[in-house]
Amino acid sequence: MKSIKEVLLLFLILGAVFSACTSEDSMYFDQNEKVVFLGNAFFENAIDNGEIETALAIRFPKKNLTFRNIGWSGDNVYAHARTRARGGGRFGDPEKGFEILTQQISDLKPDKIFLAYGFNESFDQEAGVDTYKDGLKRLLQMLGQYSPDLILISTTPIEKDFGIPEEHVETRNRELKKYAEATREVGLEGNYHFVDLYTFFSKEIQYTTNGIHLSVEAYRKAAGVIAQSLGLPAPTVAIDSEEADQIRNTIIKKNTLFFHRWRPRNDAFVYGERKDEQRIAQEEPAQIEPFIAKQEEAISLLLEEL
């Protein structure tokens, strides 16, 4: 049994830690923390460039952080795109996506979750803002049960000169701004961190690959905005250094392996209706685990050397 004094001391320390963690102050990363990137194609596309993850990793090289990117193109705060044929179904019920996500988050038990939503919801325009906010709150509440730190990332504006009619770009950006604002409001209300990429990119040019999705260079800039907004320390090496490149390449390798681990091709045979047809299809995704671990080790080693 610990003495009352010890327990009190523990409370005092914990209290100090908690107060340092409010959204007003710089964000704190503890040893061995697990970070999840969740959202639509904003994060899914980041799997292949690792920019945000690298930017965070080289700021905390000795913390042994691990990152899991579970972004999914076309997803919304209701996790509709995450619906998969489960328990033998052919196509899941969209409402099941949220359950699947909840299960995944409770398995991963992340310490921090970065969320990027709002792009797909913004097509519901003004009329959908309240529904979006409600959906986002429900999502945050669920995530909060497993993860103490939630960081909201705003939408980014659509870019001109990609063949998309100009008037459409303008209408869209009015909507996207509304949804960035809605995200900010939810963040403020729930005392979550909020990173405004909308304002930043509305002053930029040539930051997308197709008018809607960020280029690799833009991801690097976005990472800078995120770091600054969260008051993170300066990186131990320059983001464009050879060392950072090496780390980034290893991160991308790890990300790709993890993608094949949790979203394997032939999902219908691994989890869905055709599940009973293939033994090997079900066994193989788990066999990727040691290869992911190997890349994680390589990343840690590279970071330790900094």
Partner 1 sequence: MINSKGRLQWVICICLLSQYVQGQNALQDIPEPDLKKELASFTVLDGFEVSLYAATPMIEKPTQINFDSDGRLWVCGSHIYPQLNVNEEPSDQIVILEDSDGDGVADKSSVFYDKLIIPGGVLPDNQGGAYVANGDKLIHLSDTDSDGEADKVKVVLTGFGTEDTHHTLHRLGWGPGGKMYLLQGYYIASHVETAYGPRHLNGGGLWTYDIDTRRLEIFTKGYINPWGHAIDYWGQSFESDGAGTGFGHSYPNAVYVGSPGELESLPSLTPDRPKASGIEIISGKHFPPSWTGNIITNDFRAHITDRYSLKKEGSSYEASLEPTFLKSSHTSFRPIDVKMGPDGALYVVDWYSPIIQHGEVDFRDERRDHQHGRIWRITAKGRPLLEKPNYKDSSIPELLDLLKADENWVRLMAKQTLKSRDADQVMAAIQDWVGNLDAHEPDFDHHRLEALWTVQTINKIDVDLLKTVLQSKTAGARSAAARVLYYWNENVPNALELLEGAVQDPDPGVRREAVTALSQFSSDKAFDIALSAYNDHMDRAYAFALRQTCRILSKYWLPSILNGNLTPTADDSALIFALKNTEDPRATQPLIEIFRKSENPDLDILTVIGQLGDSEQLNFLSNLSSSSASPYSSEAAKALLIGARNRGAFPTANKTEVLQNLFASRHDEDLATACALVGYWDSKEFIDVLKEYLSASNATYDIKSSAAGSLAMFQTEDIRDFLIQVIDEDPSINTTKLAVNALVQVDLEKGIESIANTLSREIDQSSIEYLIRRIVRKEGAFRALTKELEGKKIPSETARHASRYVLISGREGAEELIAALSIAGGIETNAASSHNKMTTQELMAKLKDGNAEKGKEIYQMPQLACATCHKINGVGLSDIGPDLGSIGASAPVDYIVESLLEPSNKIKEGYKSSSITTENGDFYQGSVIFEDTDNITIKTAAGTEISLQKSKIKSQETSKVSMMPAGLTNALTETELIDLLKYLTELGKSQ
Paired strand residues for 34: 66
Stretch that binds partner 1, among 8-16, 109-117, 191-199, 276-284 (CB under 8 A): 276-284
Among 107, 163, 166, 242, binds partner 1 (CB under 8 A): 163
State the alpha helices, DSSP H only, in the chain. Answer: 4-20, 41-44, 51-57, 96-108, 125-144, 166-190, 197-202, 216-229, 242-262, 267-270, 279-287, 289-304
Figure out which of the listed residues 177, 249, 278, 306 binds partner 1, where binding follows CB under 8 A.
278
The sign of the CA dihedral 125, 84, 93, 190 is negative
> What tokens appear for 66 in the block?
């691990």
Interaction between residue 72 and partner 1 (CB under 8 A) = yes
Q: Out of 100, 239, 288, 298, which residue is the one contacting partner 1 (CB under 8 A)?
A: 288
Burial of residue 46, with CB atoms counted within 10 A of its CB: 0-12 exposed, 13-18 middle, 19 or more buried: buried
Q: Which of 144, 241, 266, 298 binds partner 1 (CB under 8 A)?
A: 266
- What type of residue sits at position 40? N
Q: Determine which residue in the list 99, 142, 260, 306 makes contact with partner 1, applying CB under 8 A.
A: 260
3 state SS of 13: helix
Q: Could you say whether residue 127 binds partner 1 (CB under 8 A)? A: no
- State in angstroms the smallest separation of the CB of 278 from partner 1: 6
Q: Based on the shown chain and the rule CB under 8 A, indicate whether residue 171 belongs to the binding site for partner 1.
A: no
Question: 255-283 burial, b if ≥16 CB within 10 A, otherwise e?
Answer: bebbbebebbeebbbbbbebbeeeeebbe
Q: Residue from 52, 272, 299, 302 that binds partner 1 (CB under 8 A)?
A: 272
* Closest distance of CB 129 from partner 1, Å: 16
Query: Which range touches partner 1 (CB under 8 A), out of 53-61, 85-93, 230-238, 240-248?
Result: 85-93
- The answer to whether the CB of 111 falls within 8 A of the CB of 147 is yes
Q: Residue 15 CB: number of other CB atoms within 10 A?
A: 10
Please identify which residue in 178, 213, 248, 254 interacts with partner 1, judged by CB under 8 A.
213
Relative to beta strand 112-116, strand 34-39 is parallel
Please tell me whether residue 41 binds partner 1 under the rule CB under 8 A. yes
Among 89, 144, 148, 190, binds partner 1 (CB under 8 A): 89
Residue 296 within binding range of partner 1, rule CB under 8 A: no
Q: Does 280 bind partner 1 (CB under 8 A)?
A: yes
Is 300 near partner 1 (CB under 8 A)? Answer: no
Q: Which of 274, 233, 199, 279 is nearest to 61 (CA)?
A: 233
Residue 209 in the binding site for partner 1 (CB under 8 A): yes
Of 215-254, binders to partner 1 (CB under 8 A) are: none
Residue 150 has phi, psi (to 5 degrees) of -120, 130
Closer CB to partner 1, residue 193 or residue 220? Answer: 220
Q: Which amino acid makes up residue 249?
A: N
Interacting residues with partner 1 (CB under 8 A): 40-41, 44-45, 48, 72-76, 80-81, 83-85, 87-91, 119-120, 123, 158, 162-165, 168-169, 172, 209-213, 257, 260, 263, 265-269, 272-281, 284, 287-288, 291
